[in-house]
Structure 1
Amino acid sequence: MHEKLDIPDLLLALMALAPAGFAIGLHVRYQTPTLMFQTYPVAWLAEYSHGGLVMQDPTIGWAAENRGMISWEELKDRDPAGVFERARAHGIVHGFAISLERGGSQSLASFARGDRDFTPEEKETTRALMLRLHEATASAMPLSPETREALRSLSVAFTQP
């Protein structure tokens, strides 16, 4: 794993592409990601968590069944709980989800902008960066103290068992 350089650099590049935030769950096992990175606004993360919205999030449901990319617009009919509408109140307006599987391990993510839809080129760049992040974190080794500090300095919330 080349985490010392790769993980913070990859997350910085993703932050530039998704200025309204993202949530990335890497190497999901038994419905729990081994690593989770989040840059959404704190108020939205609190509402999402306290409201138990993960169980109603259409991007999560789609990712459990599919691999590839899909825009939130394409998932709006699968959102009876109004997760996307609630996110809009926090400036999280346009987005898309990615679900990928490599080496028998699944990772999923949702990326957002507040100003406009993602271009096809931005989506493809994001997908490529997501794949690199998936591969860079494939080892079961815990994150080093240096990487943890680099993530904190980027204001990236992360969890790792």
Structure 2
Amino acid sequence: MLSNITVILQVPEIKALLFKAGIMKTWQEEQIQSLLNCDSATDLFERIQLLAHELGFDYCAYGIRMPLPISAPKTEMFNNYPSGWQASYKAKNYLAIDPTIALGNQTTLPFIWSDKLFSSARDLWEDARAHGLEHGWVQSCRDAQGISGMLTLARSGEKLLTSELRAKTSELSWLAQTAHFGMSRCLTAKMLPEAGMTLSSREIEVLRWTAEGKTSSEVADILRIAERTVNFHINNAMVKLNANNKTAAAIRAAVLGLLY
């Protein structure tokens, strides 16, 4: 059986970060193991908070979003922000206008808080700063199953200088990637049980053509099998993916990366 450390090193993004420029220091080795020893998302977030503090940040937040349902994706949020800010954020529905979320949905490159970033949400920006959230660093992650996550590290007082960011780039990006890997491991089974399903090669084949808009009859002709056989495989896939019809099954399979 592979050890936890071996498993995480098989994640390309994390492996690349750890070994870039010969980086595989004791700090990373110890923290990989400490994160992977967490059995729950709550415990994992507590560890992330400690690592964030080691990197010079007082506050951190992690949000994970499943790709399904498409109309209202399931999300889970963790943060240690001041209670006053949490209450204000919720009461004023800042989630709907938060530019960090909008930008995080568009890129997986890290970015920092700035006046320009919050130009479209001045009230939110001023309110956050009034609660001690003055300087922040953000990075999003997405995996092959379409699960996305966003790590935010923040602090008051000392500004984030280019020299500090340059010195901590590897550690910050490593933490974002590892946090996403760990949170996905802890939460996916509960939030997205379909992600654990496996499709047969024939189910994948018929769903690919279904996703292209082909009817069962057309798929049967293309694959040179009986139409009832096509429908048999489609029905099996619908059950596995908890889909009400074949179109929904094809969409779910595509979103989860099962058709590649």
TM-score by length of 2: 0.48
Report the number of matched residues.
Answer: 142
Question: What are the ranges of 5 or more consecutive residues in structure 1 without an aligned counterpart?
Answer: 143-161
Deviant stretches of 4+, over 4 Å: 30-34
Instruction: From the two aligned structures, give the one with the greater strand fraction.
Output: 1
The residue aligned with 2:39 is: 4
Q: Distance in 2 between matches of 1:88 and 1:74?
A: 11
Q: Is the 8 A contact 2:98 2:121 kept in 1?
A: no
Q: Is the 8 A contact 1:76 1:84 kept in 2?
A: no
CA separation in 2, counterparts of 1:132 and 1:47? 30
Name the structure with the higher helix share: 2
Indicate how the Cα distance of structure 1 residues 35 and 16 shifts in structure 2: closer, same or farther if over 3 A, else same.
Answer: farther
Q: For 1:16 and 1:42, how far apart are their aligned partners in 2?
A: 22
Match of 1:137 among 176, 183, 186: 183
**Bigger RCO of structures 1 and 2 (CA < 8 A, at least 6 apart):** 1
- Offset of residue 2 of structure 1: 4.2
**Which residue identity is paired with 1:80?**
A
What CA distance in whole angstroms lies between the structure 1 residues aligned with 2:65 and 2:121? 28
Matched letter for residue 21 of structure 1: Y
Say yes or no: does 1:88 pair with 2:123.
no
The equivalent residue for 2:117 is 76
- Structure 1 residues 43 and 77: alpha-carbon distance in aligned structure 2, compared to 1, 3 A threshold: closer
Residue 25 of structure 1 corresponds to which residue in structure 2? 63
Provide closer, same or farther for how the CA distance between residues 4 and 107 of structure 1 changes in structure 2, counting only shifts above 3 A: same
> Which of residues 39, 58, 61 is equivalent to 2:99?
58
Verify the 8 A CA contact 1:101 1:107 in the aligned structure 2: yes
Aligned to 1:111: 153
Q: Percent identity, aligned pairs only?
A: 23
Structure whose CA Rg is larger: 2
Question: Residue 86 and residue 124 in structure 1: after superposition, are their counterparts in 2 closer, same or farther (change >3 A)?
Answer: farther
**Unaligned regions of 5+ residues in structure 2, if any?**
1-35, 191-260
Q: C-alpha distance in 1, partners of 2:169/2:123?
A: 24
Paired residue type of 1:107: G
- CA RMSD of superposed structures (Å): 2.6
**TM-score, with length taken from structure 1:** 0.73
